Amino acid sequence: MARPTKASIDLAAFRHNYRVAKTQSPSSQAVAIIKANAYGHGAIELAHALPEADAFGVACIEEAIELRESGIKQPILLLEGFFEESELELIRQYDFWTAIHNPEHIDALERQPVSSKISVWLKLDSGMHRLGFTPQTYPAAFQRLSALPQVNHIVHMTHFACADELEKSMTHAQLQVCDATFANLDAHACSFANSAATLAHSASHIEHHGGYTRPGIMLYGADPLSAPNSASQQLIPVMTLSSKIIAIRDVPAGDAIGYGERYRCSHNMRIGTVAIGYADGYPRHAQDGTPVLVDGIRTSLVGRVSMDMLTVDLTHIPDAHIGSSVELWGKTIKADEVARYCDTIAYTLFTGITRRVHKEYIEG
Ligand SMILES: *Cc1c(COP(=O)(O)O)cnc(C)c1O
């Protein structure tokens, strides 16, 4: 590995964050959400690093099979259910749990051999309007599933649209829809809470809502809440994205740096070139001023991000040299902070890391 661009993944931090999720809701099981290759962190490695996980959640059967084939024994939930009827055979074979979010899913289950016993998570659209049965159609769907010999357990499931925004009343409204809809439908368990709700909406998982939480982003140490919160303060960032300085130059006042002359030097500056760019997943739309850490000292991005490189201000870091270490995000500069300078969220930063970035797994 000659090019120094890498993502270090702290497995101890990942386990710690999972324990935070469990502590938030001690009577619930926690489905560790590791879809999209564990939000870019490496699903197989992370799943094996968390033997205590109650279950894992993924977006599709390809992701689920990869985990099972790698030796993962815990239940694996398909969060969006199946996309084709032919997957049901595999769901049975590999013993996956599947979401059921439309009538076609139930039709397909009905056509399965009665010897199959599949655990299903019946999804209610409690207001997000993306997936699930409406409150009007949910009870009939539940009754239909309950009567099917092909169905094992049924879990009531919903998803929140605004759990990250504590000032909004939407989560409360969605919970009321859930309470009203599920009142007389006796299911195996309930599952409502994503990371934000796990940390900030205890009514969605404690009390009579015990069952399964579904923490995702919090497991990777990013803050799921839009405003600082004591619960999310306990999280430890899992990914450190780093590289090195590969060139340094002095640039006179008035000259510009990089493509499009986006950044013009207001004074004589010392500029470092770093071996990471948008083809590694560092966002091209990062603004001038986006924080970067060089040899442990905070500085900022200057100029447009290129495909393989970016440029940073070293004027106030005289000891910086070729080979100096550069942290793009990690435990000091949080991905959440970088995301704000890029008009995005930590989710897209993590999932955007490309294959070219070497991943290294460490313990703390
Ligand atoms: C991705 C996902 C989650 C996890 O969401 P986070 O915001 O990352 O915690 C939970 N439930 C469902 C249905 C999801 O698709």
Cα–chain center distance at 73: 22
Average pLDDT value for residue range 146-169: 95
Nearest CA owner, ligand 1 atom 14: 79
H-state helical runs in the chain = 11-24, 35-40, 43-48, 61-69, 87-94, 103-110, 138-146, 170-182, 195-200, 335-341, 346-351
Question: Does pLDDT of 13 surpass 90?
Answer: yes
Question: Does pLDDT of 120 surpass 90?
Answer: yes
The rounded Å distance from CA 193 to ligand 1 centre is: 8
Ligand 1 proximity of 123 Cβ (cutoff 6 Å): no
* Closest-lying ligand 1 atom to the alpha carbon of residue 224: 7
Q: 202 falls in which pLDDT band (50, 70, 90)?
A: confident
pLDDT score, position 228: 79
Regarding pTM above 0.85, the answer is yes
Q: 205 falls in which pLDDT band (50, 70, 90)?
A: confident
Ligand 1 proximity of 194 Cβ (cutoff 6 Å): yes
pLDDT in tens, 41-94: 999 999 999 999 999 999 999 999 999 999 999 999 999 999 999 999 999 999
Nearest to 209 by CA among 152, 165, 171, 164: 171
Nearest CA owner, ligand 1 atom 4: 216
| Probe target for ligand 1 pocket from 214, 219, 232, 345, with the most ligand atoms within 8 Å of CB | 214
Ligand 1 proximity of 303 Cβ (cutoff 6 Å): no
